[in-house]
Chains A and B, each alone.
Chain A
């Protein structure tokens, strides 16, 4: 190979690797990302197909948490619509009725959300951002009055 050919081969190889990387990213962005929905978006706007993975966020409805063996069931609400969630495993320490929560999983045929992970806020003043945003949209979220003093 001449020097020029070698150079071209080198550039060709680099281009190939970059093309593969771009291809992988595009495929992954199409197939492997998980959307975040509120109960209203699922029930009224039918945004998720059954069997599709998504994240469901909202507040844990008061007095909706039940435990049967290792399976927990509770209702996530955005004060407008609600969805029943079933989760086998350990709920986070800060999982509380009336508090914000995000669950990831799929909706089954009887409209129960089968979650394989449940995230609650990390500390007392933290509300998962997605949940706060979607509640704001519903107009039901107000700033915690003593939060101002904390963040100052």
Chain B
């Protein structure tokens, strides 16, 4: 409502200013010839002034005067008959002009704004959005606010600690890495923090445990042997590095230490199985009761089928929605791990085409390729 009050007022003022001079009375100025006269008067004054200053001599002065006089006479005589007299009375033209303005201005303004404008879109300056009541606001806004707090006060370790898992949940693993690094810098390394940083590094590397993360997991495990999470990643790293013998030991160690209903057990067993297949070993000679139990539940082939079906589903997803980078990373990794070399290479080639602008990803793909080709 305020908008239309102001807009209407401005429109009224504009129309008023437009039509006022059409009717308003004032003396009409002279004819075009009168204006020409003024120009010549000004020129004559110039010539006089130049003579006064002595920048033109007497002869030139006379000459210039004569020239100006001649020009003026010529114009006065032959001038393309300037409109004799301007009339001022309002009359019919004034009325028509005014009506034209009264119709055109609001019609264009309202019509045009209706067409192009975004009525009811309030201003949303950033600061005001950040200062608004936090209840009912999106995670992004809250995050942004926390971020600006941290930019102002970057040594707030607890702040970084709070924000880091939020980043992880939003899939912004690189920001999470930064946040955990800051937290460690300020609060000092703890087993939990190192594990979290390592995890963030691993996620941002697309699931492959980078060297730095591996080191962090080792430190974390050493600092707190009861922390099981780093063990998982250490074992995973062995798998990914192809050191299957160590991997088998590590997975077995992890499985032994984990409580029965731990959520990671399923993956750990799969990975253990994988390492064992790769190593060419059968199940350990003295399987634990639990291992036998599990093996009974799922035969090797069943498990393989299960994994394959998951991979196919992913491949189908990518067919439909190809611009999914983590998806490609996952499927390439899966093919590699499943030893489906030609599928892996095909996926790499496809991904390279799709993401040819993403230099980092291309490099990662090249690495994958060279690993496969070894």
Q: Do A and B come from one complex?
A: yes
A96→B358 CA distance, assembly (Å): 11
Chain B residues with CB below 8 A from A145, complex form: 323
Q: Does A143 contact B (CB under 8 A)?
A: no
Residue interface bits A81-103, CB-to-B below 8 A is 1, else 0:
00000000000000011110000
Q: Does B366 contact A (CB under 8 A)?
A: yes
B359 touches A63 (CB 8 A): no
Across chains A and B, the number of contacting residue pairs, with CB separation under 8 Å, is 12
Q: In the complex, which residue of chain B has the Cβ closest to the Cβ of A145? A: B323
Q: Does B44 contact A (CB under 8 A)?
A: no
Q: Does B357 contact A (CB under 8 A)?
A: yes
A98 touches B359 (CB 8 A): yes
A97 touches B323 (CB 8 A): no
Residue interface bits B231-267, CB-to-A below 8 A is 1, else 0:
0000000000000000000000000000000000000
Residue interface bits B316-359, CB-to-A below 8 A is 1, else 0:
00000001000000000000000000000000000000001101
Q: Which of B281-323 contact A (CB under 8 A)?
A: 323
Chain A residues with CB below 8 A from B366, complex form: 62-63
Chain B residues with CB below 8 A from A97, complex form: 359
A128→B307 CA distance, assembly (Å): 46
B357 touches A98 (CB 8 A): yes
A98 touches B323 (CB 8 A): no
Minimum C-beta distance from B327 to chain A (A): 16
Interface residues on A, range: under 10
Chain B residues with CB below 8 A from A62, complex form: 362, 366
**Number of interface residues, chain B, beta carbon within 8 A:** 6
A99→B323 CA distance, assembly (Å): 19
Minimum C-beta distance from B316 to chain A (A): 21
B359 touches A96 (CB 8 A): yes
Minimum C-beta distance from A140 to chain B (A): 9
A97→B360 CA distance, assembly (Å): 11
Q: Which of A96-134 contact B (CB under 8 A)?
A: 96-99
Q: Does A144 contact B (CB under 8 A)?
A: yes
Minimum C-beta distance from A107 to chain B (A): 27
Q: In the complex, which residue of chain B has the Cβ closest to the Cβ of A97? A: B359
Minimum C-beta distance from A61 to chain B (A): 12
A144 touches B357 (CB 8 A): yes
A69→B277 CA distance, assembly (Å): 50
A54→B323 CA distance, assembly (Å): 38
Minimum C-beta distance from A10 to chain B (A): 22
Residue interface bits B165-207, CB-to-A below 8 A is 1, else 0:
0000000000000000000000000000000000000000000
Minimum C-beta distance from A43 to chain B (A): 22
Chain A residues with CB below 8 A from B362, complex form: 62, 98
Chain A residues with CB below 8 A from B359, complex form: 96-98
A93→B356 CA distance, assembly (Å): 19
A96→B366 CA distance, assembly (Å): 16
Complex A-B, nearest 4 residue pairs according to Cβ-Cβ distance, in ascending order: A98-B356, A96-B359, A145-B323, A98-B359
Mark B residues whose CB is within 8 Å of A. 323, 356-357, 359, 362, 366
User: Would you mind naming 12 contact pairs between A and B with Cβ atoms under 8 Å apart?
Assistant: A62-B362, A62-B366, A63-B366, A96-B359, A97-B359, A98-B356, A98-B357, A98-B359, A98-B362, A99-B357, A144-B357, A145-B323
Knowing that A96-B359, A98-B356 touch, tell me 10 more A-B residue pairs with CB under 8 angstroms: A62-B362, A62-B366, A63-B366, A97-B359, A98-B357, A98-B359, A98-B362, A99-B357, A144-B357, A145-B323
